Structure 1
Amino acid sequence: MKKTLLLACICCAFCACNNVEKQASVKLQEARQAYESGDYNQAKILIDSIKILYPKAYETRKAGIGLMQEVELKEQEKTLHYLDSLLQQKQQQLDAMKSAYTFEKDVEYQRIGHYLHPSQVIEKNLHRSFLRFQVDENGLMSLTSIYCGARNIHHTAVKVSTPDGIFAQTPPSKDSYETTDLGEKIEKADYKMGEDGDVINFLYANKDKNIRVDYIGERPYSTTLTANDRKAVVSVYELAQVLSAITEIKKNIEEAKLKSDFVKKKMEERKAKEE
């Protein structure tokens, strides 16, 4: 009697396990269909649901791990294809734009060069106080406040304002210096975008307005942004958008490649264990 009862229990447990595996395998098949139709997100949701709904369906869950790796690999391949296409578009846009800029790079001292508007090269602006705009090859834009005069003002920041009183102001510069050339006092202070008190964005947004520039230092000094300087900030700003987009795309491509390589390694390890 006891043996009969034991056998009955074993049979029930076996049937229950088989039933769980069958139910889980149906869900796995749905996940595979979603994967084959390109709905990778739905495939992942279905695979994850197997672990929650059928925790004891060990064989199906094991097969689900393999399918999840296939899904993740396909996702990265799709991402790489999209990013490569986007990079080509942005690179073509850059190639069409960059001939309109002056590129400066001292290969002996600089790892990264920068672009600026031709009207703002130093040779054309000697003895002039103005705001100079540039963007490096990675898309990081910055502005330099340049002062030239008979006396030092020892400025560390600048304030820009429109005729209606709206303004933006940089924090104190982290990179500034002063020098003297044939009796002329020259001061320069750099402000990177993101650390500029939103001055660059303010100038771009108000590109069609007259802009007053106040140098903040020990002595007061003010000037105005010329028409060429307004053109320069707009031109460099738009180039910066393209360059920064290219830098971001390249970064995303590297991340996608690393993820793809990681998944491939996991697939190889799983295959080796199965063999």
Structure 2
Amino acid sequence: MSNVVTEHKIKLSALTGLALLAVSCSGNGDTEKANALLDEARQAYEAGNFANSLSLTDSIKNAYPKEIDVRREALHLATKATEGLTLQKLEQADSLSAVLAVRGDSLQRLIKFVKNPIEGYYTAATADPAKFFSTTGLQARVSPDGNFYLMSSLKAKSVKSTSIAVSAGGEEARTSTVAHDGERNDRSMGGEVITFIGAECDSVGHFISNHSSEPITLTFVGNSTYSMPLPEKQAQEIALLYDYATTLRRFKVASLEKERLSRAVDIARSQAARTFVEKDSI
């Protein structure tokens, strides 16, 4: 009986040893695989492929949750890759800001600032705001904070206009409707003057900017309609002001993005410092 028990214990011990060996081998396999991914992530980082490096470190975190030591190194590498990727984006934003600043300075030479008791505005240097209300057509303006707006003036006709449309080459753009209110839609002194602001006229500004070298038809829309060729001079002035407003808007966005990315770089550097682990201490 004792021999049988002893033999049974030996078999159990052997099976337990094999199981432990299997677990040990499996663990070593995961460590090797995790380290292989970490090496790939390092190579991607050194090559400046920070996005791929981040993807590989993320794979280590998801695929090998028990490989704590490797995950620590991967976390530190991920913070460095994040810093590198953010620096790349910061350089792009900085370059774009510089290009837009030069573009804005170039366009500003072609416009002028007109003082106004309510609020001053920019318009084309060739435009005459004082005479505009006695003519029929369009005039573009840009507010000091860079918002594009468009004014329409209709003389010697009465269509009770509430919007305008422009067309060229079989395409058309139209403003939003501005109801008659005696202010933004004014019909006093024998004329119809409407001020379209921001999104109300953005599509028209964009359309004229894209078609300024073509014949454009201007249509006043209200109780009836009245169409006429948009004077080439007005089309060129509108295109200029729309380009200027767009450049200012893009410059502001790029500047804000630079500020955001600069803060992100500082955060990434701080995280990299906190996650650094001496190799011998792992």
* 3-state SS, counterpart of residue 134 of structure 1: strand
Cα contact 1:21–1:59 (8 A) shared by 2? no
Aligned counterparts of 2:115 and 2:65: Cα–Cα separation in 1:
61
Give TM-score scaled by structure 2 length: 0.76
The superposition leaves residues 87-113 of structure 1 with CA deviations (integer Å, 9 ceiling, x where unpaired) of: 12221222222121013476x966xx7
* 3-state SS, counterpart of residue 134 of structure 2: coil
Aligned twin of 2:50? 40
Aligned twin of 1:87? 97
Aligned twin of 1:176? 184
5+ long unaligned stretches in structure 1:
none
Q: 1:145 aligns with which of 152, 169, 185?
A: 152
Equivalences for 1:226-245 in 2 at 5 Å? 226-245=231-250
Change (3 A) 1:205 1:232: same
Matching of residue 69 in structure 1 with residue 75 in structure 2: no
Q: 1:118 aligns with which of 106, 121, 125?
A: 125
Aligned twin of 2:216? 211
Aligned counterparts of 2:39 and 2:102: Cα–Cα separation in 1:
44
Deviation at 1:76, TM superposition (A): 0.7
Deviation at 1:255, TM superposition (A): 3.3
* 3-state SS, counterpart of residue 240 of structure 2: helix
5+ long unaligned stretches in structure 2:
1-9
Change (3 A) 1:208 1:214: same
Aligned counterparts of 2:202 and 2:35: Cα–Cα separation in 1:
58
Question: 1:228 corresponds to which letter in structure 2?
Answer: K
Cα contact 1:177–1:189 (8 A) shared by 2? yes
Aligned counterparts of 2:245 and 2:166: Cα–Cα separation in 1:
21
Matching of residue 154 in structure 1 with residue 164 in structure 2: no
Q: 1:247 aligns with which of 249, 252, 255?
A: 252
Cα contact 2:113–2:121 (8 A) shared by 1? yes
Aligned twin of 1:224? 229
Deviation at 1:170, TM superposition (A): 2.3
Aligned counterparts of 1:138 and 1:235: Cα–Cα separation in 2:
17
Aligned twin of 1:198? 203
Aligned counterparts of 1:120 and 1:139: Cα–Cα separation in 2:
18
The superposition leaves residues 117-158 of structure 1 with CA deviations (integer Å, 9 ceiling, x where unpaired) of: 123342242412321113446654332213345x86432101
Cα contact 1:137–1:243 (8 A) shared by 2? no
Q: Which has the larger radius of gyration?
A: 2
Cα contact 1:101–1:117 (8 A) shared by 2? yes
The superposition leaves residues 186-243 of structure 1 with CA deviations (integer Å, 9 ceiling, x where unpaired) of: 5223143x54383223323332333332211235444432232022122223323432
Aligned counterparts of 1:23 and 1:104: Cα–Cα separation in 2:
69
RMSD between aligned alpha carbons? 3.4
Aligned twin of 1:101? 111
Q: % of aligned pairs identical?
A: 22
Aligned counterparts of 2:80 and 2:47: Cα–Cα separation in 1:
13
Cα contact 1:156–1:176 (8 A) shared by 2? no
The count of corresponding residues between Structure 1 and Structure 2 is 265
* 3-state SS, counterpart of residue 38 of structure 1: coil
Matching of residue 130 in structure 1 with residue 140 in structure 2: no
Deviation at 1:60, TM superposition (A): 1.0
* 3-state SS, counterpart of residue 122 of structure 2: strand
Equivalences for 1:249-268 in 2 at 5 Å? 249-264=254-269, 266-267=271-272
